[in-house]
Amino acid sequence: MSAAEVPQSRPFPRGIAREVTPLGLWGGDVLVYRSIILLAGLALPLIASVNWFVRGSLSWPQLALAAVILVCALVCHLLSRAGRRDIAAALLIGTLWLAVTIYAFESGYGMHSSMVFVYLPCVLYTALFFGLVVASAELALTIAALLAMYFAEAQGIIGGAATFITHSTNFNFLLGVILTSIGTLVAGAVYHRRVEREAARVVAAAEERRVALEKAQQAQSQLEAAHAQLQALNQQLARRDSARAEEMARLRRDLDVLREVVSREASTPALMATLDALGMRRHEPLKRATLDISQMARQAIELLDRGLVFPGLRFEVVPGLRAEGDRKLVSALLHHLIGRAARVCRGEPEPLVRVGGGSMQGLPVFYVSDSGPGMDAARREQLFRPFDNGSQDRDTLDVAALSARHIVEQHGGELTVDSAPGKGTTFFFSLPSAAS
């Protein structure tokens, strides 16, 4: 920005920083120039008309004074619009003051000239634009000029009241006072209205900023609340991940112990089938096919009956049970669950093993239930985590349950157990199809 552009961008005129009332901030100085232009323009024909009808002449000194004030106000208006507000104000004040003083002495009217009342708006304008210090200096200079007029009239240098009565009229005096007062009042009133409008605009803008700040604070509060919720959700997910990691570590520990237990008797046919079911001897992909679960359950029951170790045990198989899965693994699954059910209930008065199925949420669900003694909550919790208490006693290991769960999870399903003391045990398992 150049030095010439600085005064245009500053709200206050150059050279005043502390005790100034910002007259030029909302165009007050422009109003002063326009008011003087209007009054001087109106005064020229009025003065000419009054003097022509009263004295028969135009009274050129009065017309010259009004013309000088008009030209000065026009020049100051142009300077103000060009950004030279301080120069325009100083030029207007100086021209008015000098013109009034010269006219008072040259006309001989002295203090009785109506134009001396222009001193009042000049002092007011100076106070509003340049501050009290400069206005006080101007007031002192004005008082000095009035005292000079007084002493000049007392010594007969100027005529004063006598000259005014001889060459002028009370109407001219009255007209000058009225025009000066009206001009000062109009400029002050219009400027006051502008200040009120600007103050209302500033208040409205401040209210808008306050409302915007409140909205921003509300948005900040909502953002902080959302951030807190996100942190809580992250903590919850972290706890879940930690629990899942602990579960996986527990399962790996169970499998390691299971490998150690079964490796001692890996040559027996039963344990060889268990190893195949648990996937410990092969890692082949599932060979899915449509299976008749009812028929496969009856085949597993026939193998148990051939052993002649479950006399009096009654089996029930719901017909029409079908699912998709690996035939060899599902056969091992049914063998484990049915064999376990037969073993736990063979000592009951009326031993019964039942194989059935249904659907849940559109997925086929199967069950193997027994009429055995059942399990309490502690035993159900330990069923799939037999080594949580630090013991590696193979008698606590339920190989059938662990094998069945592993087979179901290989198929993407889930195995759960429902049991209570004295009410038997039911294993529920699902075998989702590849499409689901």
| Cα atoms in the 13 Å half-sphere on the side-chain side of 258 | 25
Is residue 51 in some structural domain? yes
Q: Where are the alpha helices (DSSP H) in 264-394?
A: 269-278, 293-306, 327-345, 377-383
Residue 385 shares a structural domain with residue 305: yes
> What angle do helix axes 269-278 and 399-410 make, rounded to 10 degrees?
40
Same domain, 192 and 318: no
Look at residue 257 in the predicted model and tell me its pLDDT: 61
What number of CA atoms fall less than 13 Å from residue 144's CA on the CB side?
7
Helix axes 28-55, 119-130, angle to 10 degrees: 170
Identify whether 264 is part of a domain: no
Asked which of 212, 229, 259 is the last residue of a domain, the reply is 212
Q: Distance (Å, rounded) from C-alpha 376 to C-alpha 422?
A: 9
What residues contact residue 308 under an 8 Å CB cut-off, 6+ apart? none
**Is-contact 179 114, C-beta < 8 A?**
no
Ramachandran region of residue 354, left (φ > 0), alpha (ψ -120 to 50) or beta?
A: beta
**Cα(230)–Cα(278) distance, rounded to whole angstroms?**
40
Decide which of 196, 212, 228 is a domain's last residue.
212
Does residue 295 sit in the same domain as residue 415?
yes
Q: Are residues 172 and 50 in the same domain?
A: yes
Residues 6+ apart with CB under 8 A from 279: 406, 410
CATH number at 282 reads: 3.30.565.10
* pLDDT computed for residue 15 by the predictor: 41
Q: Is 120 found in the same domain as 206?
A: yes
Q: How many domains does the chain have?
A: 2
Q: For residue 323, which amino acid is it?
A: A
Please report the pLDDT score of residue 18 as a whole number: 33
Q: How far apart are CA 206 and CA 202, in angstroms?
A: 6
Cβ neighbors of 237 (< 8 A, separation 6 or more) are none
Q: Are residues 289 and 159 in the same domain?
A: no
Residue 190 lies in a domain: yes
Distance between CA atoms of residues 306 and 313, nearest Å:
13
- Phi–psi pair at 411, nearest 5 degrees: -85, 0
Q: How many CB atoms lie within 10 A of CB 201?
A: 10
Assigned domain for 114 exists = yes
Identify whether the C-beta of residue 353 lies closer than 8 Å to the C-beta of residue 313. Answer: yes
DSSP β-bridge partners for residue 236: none
Same domain, 191 and 59: yes
By residue range, what is the domain housing residue 20? 3-212
**173 in the same domain as 32:** yes
181 and 41 in a single domain? The answer is: yes
Same structural domain, 62 and 175 = yes
Query: Strand, helix or coil at 156?
Result: coil
In a domain, 222, yes or no: no
Question: Is the Cβ–Cβ distance between 63 and 47 less than 8 Å?
Answer: yes
What's the CA gap between 421 and 245, in Å, rounded? 32
Alpha carbon of 6 to those of 76, 178, 247, 436: distances in Å?
19, 39, 75, 77
Neighbours of 219 (CB within 10 A): 10
Residue whose C-alpha is closest to residue 46's, from 59, 32, 33: 59
Instruction: Tell me the pLDDT of the chain (436 aa) as tens digits.
Output: 444 444 444 444 444 333 334 555 556 667 777 777 777 777 767 767 766 766 666 667 777 877 888 888 888 888 888 878 888 888 888 888 888 888 778 777 777 776 777 787 778 777 777 778 888 888 888 888 888 888 887 887 776 666 666 666 555 666 666 766 676 666 666 666 766 676 777 778 888 888 888 898 888 989 998 888 999 999 999 888 888 888 787 777 666 666 665 555 444 445 555 555 455 554 568 888 889 999 999 998 888 776 556 777 889 999 999 988 889 999 999 999 998 898 888 888 888 999 999 877 777 899 999 998 988 888 888 887 655 554 544 455 677 888 888 888 888 888 999 988 988 999 999 888 766 6
Q: Is residue 327 domain-shared with residue 178, that is, in the same domain?
A: no
What pLDDT does 411 receive?
86
Contact 52, 46 (CB under 8 A): no
Which CA distances in Å does 66 have to 103, 138, 180, 234?
Answer: 11, 22, 12, 85
Final residue of a domain: which of 164, 188, 212?
212
In a domain, 283, yes or no: yes
The reply to whether 17 falls in a domain is yes
Clarify whether residues 145 and 15 are in a common domain: yes
Q: Quick check: is 229 in a domain?
A: no
**Helix, strand or coil, per DSSP, at residue 124:** helix
